[in-house]
Amino acid sequence: MEDILKIAILGGTGNEGAGLGFRWAAAGHDIIIGSRSAERAAQAAEKLRAGLPAGSGLITGRENTIATQEAEIIVLSVPYEAQTATLDTVAPVLAEKLLITVVAPLGTPKGRVWAVPGGSAAEEAQRQLGESVSVVAAFQSISAEHLQDLDHDIDSDVLVIGDRKADRQVAVDLAADAGMRGVHAGPLQNAPVIEGLAAVMIAINVRYKMKDAGLRITGL
């Protein structure tokens, strides 16, 4: 890792966001767990800190807007249903920052794709935020199951979607910092695929009675 990044994880009290934050902190980055409630954010941060090895980066907890203000990279890890309201709240302090969205709309029953009106949650976010924010989609199909176990090798690649190569590269590097391989997989227009893969992974988990189906790109 070259630079220590300051990363806010909105909805970082959930399993996926917390797991990614834990791995990034272990890699030396400074993590701000964001939540609507500053108290819940602080509690989640404290719990994560307790498990970190020596030499890790910081993990603190803040209300979402303050977390966004303090960080240079913003990771959106809220349920799809909370996305619009969350982005509304933080939009005033998000301009010129990079937003990496982990959000995947999940249909019911489990394992079904939810085709949202804007094509994908990531495209809806980009439209809501406008051109001053660059939206990258990644980590949707990574199971949260083993993220907080640093000894567990995550057997899955991270497909990274976005319109700007340099911004995709940030997510590719963050995948590496979390022990995974990031793969450039096309423009934001392809976001429905990687968001839908989250539902497909759940369908596979249900069908084959497992918890952590992953996905590897071959031939690279």
- By beta-carbon proximity to its own copies, the closer residue of 110 and 132 is 110
- By beta-carbon proximity to its own copies, the closer residue of 40 and 181 is 181
Interaction between residue 108 and its own copies (CB under 8 A): no
- In whole angstroms, how close is the CB of 114 to its own copies at the nearest point? 9
Task: Find tokens 């995550």 and name the residue.
Answer: 154
- In whole angstroms, how close is the CB of 79 to its own copies at the nearest point? 20
Binding mask 147-186 for its own copies (x = CB under 8 A): --------xx--x-----------------------xxxx
How far apart, in Å, are the Cα atoms of 19 and each of 91, 188, 198? 25, 24, 16
Amino acid found at 94: L
- In whole angstroms, how close is the CB of 126 to its own copies at the nearest point? 15
Interaction between residue 51 and its own copies (CB under 8 A): no
**Alpha carbons within 13 A on the beta-carbon side of 65:** 7
CB 122 within 8 A of CB 167: no
- By beta-carbon proximity to its own copies, the closer residue of 1 and 217 is 217
Interaction between residue 28 and its own copies (CB under 8 A): no
Interaction between residue 196 and its own copies (CB under 8 A): yes
| Distance (Å, whole) CA 68 – CA 63 | 9
Q: Please, what is the Cα angle at 123 between 119 and 128, to 5 degrees?
A: 120
Bridge partners (DSSP) listed for residue 184: 160
CB 169 within 8 A of CB 176: no
| Distance (Å, whole) CA 216 – CA 8 | 28
Binding mask 114-133 for its own copies (x = CB under 8 A): -x---x--------------
Amino acid found at 58: L
Which residues make up the interface to its own copies (CB under 8 A)? 107, 111-113, 115, 119, 155-156, 159, 183-187, 189-190, 192-194, 196-197, 199-200, 203-204, 207-208, 210, 212-220
